[in-house]
Structure 1
Amino acid sequence: MTVSSEASSTFLSRLGEDVFQAFHHTVFTSILGSAFVPRVARRALLLAGGAHAESGVGLGFSLSGSPRNLNIASGVYINGGVSIEAIAPVTIGTDTAIGMQVLIITSHHEIDESGAWTAEATGRPVTIGKRVWIGGRATILPGAVIEDDVVVAAGAVVAGRLESHGVYGGVPAKRIRELTPRTGV
């Protein structure tokens, strides 16, 4: 292959990626998050894209990655401006509420001992349990697990595992208060 044909192949490959990304952004951000699209239609659009969505999403919703990696249970409330990057699976349990402008990230870049990072992202799944409340502008980092019956304070940055029956806040999020376990749930 000549230099010219290699450059042409690279150009066409990148052009194809850009066209796909533009289509994906238009469908799963511009249309899906539009105020002109009712919540039930947003849910239908997610389902058509391959997501498992028993609940709809709010205005200004943004999805990058694969809709097939998104699992939203019943009774979930997703407020406005929420962004989910579903490079790896994102699971949201029943009766969970996600506040405005929450960011859920699944892509991760490995960093070696010298501080060099890999350009290629790998996915780490995010799991959000049942009856979780996540305050506005919280950030959920790749690989995070939020167990059932947890409150995440507004603006918190969640990494690792948040254990059940607690309130977490700060950067990084730490347990700041105990919650009494519910009975009969």
Structure 2
Amino acid sequence: MGFSQSLYRKLIVNGLAAWPAVPSRVRARLYRWGGIDVQTTFLSARCYFSGNRVTIGERSFVNGGCYFENHGAITIGRGVSLGMEVMLCASTHELGGPDQRAGKPIGLPIRIEDGCWIGTRAVILPGVTIGAGCVVAAGAVVTRDCAPHGLYAGTPAKRVRDLPSEKTAEAVG
């Protein structure tokens, strides 16, 4: 991406589209013009995207102030809800020597599968997959994969409860 394209993307995606006065449907179009694969219109203001390697599925909701740091790809499934100021960090660094511990940057993908709810100010770290139907509590820091249909909370996030899935709901009903 050349300088003018990068500047254009930054102005459109993190400038105009982030402005609270922009209607959600227009915001979705602006994100698409900036190269982000957005399949929903439930997009709140003041979100930040460091790049365009982001996919947001149908019926998903992105609340205000979410941060998408995507040196690695970020994929959000269908029907996912992100609370306010959720931080998705898809990059880290190799461990460097004693003179500079943050070595070469590396991107690791983040995947949030269908139907998840990520609470306010949760942090999702590089290389994590959150299985379908999970809930991540507000303020949790997710450092490892989350198995489907669980409630995860804490720092680091741990599974604290199983949640009903379609299979268990059918067996109960």
What is the TM-score normalised by the length of structure 1? 0.82
Q: List alignment gaps of at least 5 residues for structure 1.
A: 1-15
Matched residue type, 1:64: S
Contact between 1:82 and 1:103, CA under 8 Å: does it hold in 2?
yes
Per the alignment, residue 32 of structure 2 pairs with 47
Per the alignment, residue 68 of structure 2 pairs with 84
Q: What is the Cα-based RMSD across aligned positions, in Å?
A: 2.2
Instruction: Say which of 66, 89, 98 aligns to 1:105.
Output: 89
Runs of 4+ in 1 over 3 A off after TM superposition: 19-25, 112-115
Matched residue type, 2:49: L
Per the alignment, residue 46 of structure 2 pairs with 60
SS in structure 2 of the partner of residue 46 of structure 1 = helix
Contact between 1:103 and 1:138, CA under 8 Å: does it hold in 2?
yes
SS in structure 2 of the partner of residue 148 of structure 1 = coil
Q: CA deviation at 1:83?
A: 0.9
SS in structure 2 of the partner of residue 29 of structure 1 = helix
**2:69 and 2:145 mapped to 1: Cα distance?**
19
Q: List alignment gaps of at least 5 residues for structure 2.
A: none
Instruction: Say which of 163, 166, 169 aligns to 1:179.
Output: 163
Per the alignment, residue 78 of structure 2 pairs with 94
Per the alignment, residue 25 of structure 1 pairs with 10
**1:146 and 1:107 mapped to 2: Cα distance?**
17
Per the alignment, residue 131 of structure 1 pairs with 115
Per the alignment, residue 144 of structure 2 pairs with 160
More strand by share: 2
More helix by share: 1
Per the alignment, residue 117 of structure 1 pairs with 102
Contact between 1:153 and 1:169, CA under 8 Å: does it hold in 2?
yes
SS in structure 1 of the partner of residue 166 of structure 2 = coil
SS in structure 2 of the partner of residue 110 of structure 1 = strand
Contact between 1:33 and 1:42, CA under 8 Å: does it hold in 2?
yes
Task: Work out which of the two has the higher radius of gyration on C-alpha atoms and give 1 or 2.
Answer: 1
Q: CA deviation at 1:48?
A: 1.2
What is the TM-score normalised by the length of structure 2? 0.87
Q: CA deviation at 1:26?
A: 2.7
Alignment pair present for 1:34 and 2:19: yes
**1:124 and 1:131 mapped to 2: Cα distance?**
22
**2:166 and 2:113 mapped to 1: Cα distance?**
15
